[in-house]
């Protein structure tokens, strides 16, 4: 079992947003409890959320506002600052980022700031982006996609923002750099957990390699046929000792896991389908996975809902129909439980 799985075993607490009418309920539950517990509500579901368990608080954005929610005292959320950038809500999650900075210990935000055509400068075969009167070498960022600056700010004690850096990048659908040029600048302080990092770290595409499944070529063909896998083949992931899951892979800009999903035992000598997941002949449904002990969370990539399965049991032990951002929390979440939540 890989390191990401081991980390997630530390907690079997499931967190998700549940939109009910005009509010978004923040909900936690364990599968055994059979019911969710509301720990906070907001007018809409946040674009960004960072857990800080040692301080018993969370930071999150609603529109262009940054809020802090503490589970100490009266537990009322506090508006800490207006974000130092503007973008439409539907691109907020893709075009910006929220962290507690490992470098400064402060709240840190990043934003993809577009570059106007007049500020793209060509000189002697090189490309530069102009910002605030200064030219920045694009470092190959403009070869694909549209030009942007990835800009970083720290939140100061009085609520003002200090700009830290601005790095040329590119961004559009597909394999463009986007905010990845800020990997060092946006490293999280140890013990803090951005919800988007929890999602990304749950499953990395390098773990999907069906070649890790040690079976003969003939057996591999049998599995691919059973999955109705096309030319893109199938992926494999370890689950618990002696078991794993296999699933078709489909490619768009990047590889995606699709249905049907099968649990396999003994190098897939035994295959059993996980029931209840939507399927289509052309594999339009795509999913991400997250493990916690012997529990598997399956989430659709482009729709609401979530399913939880126990190791190699074909029927889900939990099906959440209207949830979004469902994740196992990789920390002890006992501090979130209060007698009542405001």
Scanning the chain, the segments in alpha helix (DSSP H) are 3-8, 89-95, 195-202, 217-226
Contact, 168 vs 129, CB < 8 A? Answer: yes
Q: What is the pLDDT of residue 313?
A: 93
Q: What is the pLDDT of residue 173?
A: 64
Q: What is the pLDDT of residue 49?
A: 97
Pick from 235, 185, 181, 241: which is nearest to 211 by CA? Answer: 235
| Model-wide pTM > 0.75 | yes
Instruction: Please compute, for residue 260, the number of CA atoms within 13 A of its CA located in the half-sphere on the CB side.
Output: 17
pLDDT tens per residue across all 342 residues of the chain: 333 333 334 447 999 999 878 899 999 998 766 678 999 999 999 999 999 999 999 999 999 999 999 998 888 899 999 999 988 877 888 899 999 999 999 999 999 999 999 999 998 888 899 999 999 998 766 567 899 999 999 999 989 999 999 999 998 866 688 999 998 999 999 999 999 888 776 655 556 766 678 888 898 899 999 999 988 889 999 888 888 999 999 887 778 899 999 999 988 889 999 999 999 888 889 999 998 888 999 999 888 899 999 988 999 999 998 888 899 998 999 999 864 444
Contact, 277 vs 259, CB < 8 A? Answer: yes
The domains of the chain are located at 49-201, 203-328
Q: What is the pLDDT of residue 16?
A: 94
Instruction: Please compute, for residue 39, the number of CA atoms within 13 A of its CA located in the half-sphere on the CB side.
Output: 25
Strands 134-137 and 234-238: unpaired
**Tokens 């857990």, residue?**
51
């Amino acid at each position: 079992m890989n390191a990401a799985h081991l980390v997630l075993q530390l907690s079997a607490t499931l967190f998700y947003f549940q939109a009910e009418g005009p509010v978004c309920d923040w909900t936690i539950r364990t599968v055994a409890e059979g019911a969710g517990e509301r720990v906070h509500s907001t007018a809409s579901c946040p674009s960004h959320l960072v857990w800080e368990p040692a301080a018993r608080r969370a930071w999150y954005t609603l529109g262009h506002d940054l809020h802090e929610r503490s589970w100490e005292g009266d537990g009322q959320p506090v508006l800490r600052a207006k974000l130092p950038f503007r973008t439409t809500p539907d691109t907020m999650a893709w075009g910006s980022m929220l962290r507690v900075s490992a470098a400064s210990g402060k709240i840190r935000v990043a934003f993809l700031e577009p570059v106007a055509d007049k500020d793209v400068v060509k000189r002697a075969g090189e490309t530069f982006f102009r910002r605030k009167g200064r030219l920045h070498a694009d470092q190959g960022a403009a070869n694909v996609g549209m030009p942007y600056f990835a800009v970083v700010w720290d939140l100061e004690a009085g609520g003002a923002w200090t700009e830290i850096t601005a790095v040329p990048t590119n961004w559009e659908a597909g394999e463009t750099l986007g905010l990845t040029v800020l990997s060092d600048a946006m490293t999280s302080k140890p013990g803090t957990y951005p919800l988007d990092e929890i999602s990304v770290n749950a499953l990395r595409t390098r773990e999907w390699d069906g070649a890790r499944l040690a079976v003969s070529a003939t057996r591999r063909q049998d599995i691919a046929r059973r999955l109705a896998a096309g030319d893109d083949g199938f992926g494999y992931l370890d689950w618990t000792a002696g078991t794993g899951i296999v699933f078709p892979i489909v490619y768009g800009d990047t590889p995606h896991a699709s249905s049907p999903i099968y649990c396999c035992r003994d190098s897939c000598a035994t295959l059993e389908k996980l029931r209840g997941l939507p399927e289509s002949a052309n594999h339009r449904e795509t999913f991400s996975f997250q493990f916690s002990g012997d529990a598997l969370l399956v989430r659709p990539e482009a729709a609401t809902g979530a399913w939880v399965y126990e190791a190699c049991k074909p029927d889900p032990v939990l099906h959440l129909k209207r949830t979004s951002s469902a994740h196992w929390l990789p920390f002890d979440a006992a501090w979130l439980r209060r007698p009542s939540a405001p």
